[in-house]
Amino acid sequence: MPPGIDAMREIVFDTETTGLDPLQGHRLVEVGCVELINRIPSGNTFHRYINPERSIPPDATAIHGIDDARVKSEKIFAAIVDEMLDFIGDAPLVAHNAMFDLGFLNAELERVKKKPLPRERMVDTLVLARRKHPAGPNRLDDLCSRYGIDNSRRSKHGALLDAEILAEVYLELIGGRQATLVLVETVEGKGGAQRAGAVTTRPRPEPLPARLTDAEREAHRKFVDTLGKDPLWRNYLPGT
């Protein structure tokens, strides 16, 4: 990275669960995370199936295809939590209908006596989509259709696949591939937080070489001479 500019890291993630409400005892069965660096997928991912320590209802299996047999031999959440937290670090977390996923993650973190993830870290692509496309629809599949993103592999929900697709949707929601440009410096603020600062412009060490030839300049001068006594363009000729 250029001096004074830090890489921006974000984590796009998705979860699959045994049901809709962690307060009713439903648990995580899968988590998938995709790392973005300066709004570009880095290739680093985190993906785990999780033994929920309870049965998976058939209606949940119908959505994501994960049944009791699939996760019976997988690790429980307590066994993968440190690895997951190390991967996400302190990066902003991007999810579709983020409060649903955050509710399940924090319920699991509470069970293993870990600090909850604050809501302030969440970027909800459903909220972004509703602001940008208030007439909807704004489901993930609908947004893929809107932006021409291939989701043909998505016959069932899957945490890592959905996170990969959501990363593409997220980039479109925030302005497409132009969002990968990093044009601001980051300034360390209160508590070590990073915020955007003013751009520092630096003069070019050497001027760029001229692209016009002497013959082209002379031809332009002769053309300006044909435009009358005092043409405006004469003010822009070298040496005038």
Class for the domain spanning 9-196: alpha beta
Q: Which residues are catalytic?
A: 157
Domain boundaries, given as residue ranges, for the chain = 9-196, 211-240
d(CA 46, CA 161): 11
Q: Is the pLDDT of residue 190 over 70?
A: no
Q: Is the pLDDT of residue 183 over 90?
A: no
Coil vs helix vs strand at 13:
strand
First to last CA, the chain: 43
What value does the mean pLDDT take over residues 155-179? Answer: 85
pLDDT in tens, 30-76: 999 999 999 999 999 999 999 999 999 999 999 999 999 999 999 99
What value does the mean pLDDT take over residues 205-211? Answer: 71
Q: What is the pLDDT of residue 112?
A: 98
What value does the mean pLDDT take over residues 142-155? Answer: 88
d(CA 163, CA 160): 5
Contact 31, 15 (CB under 8 A): yes
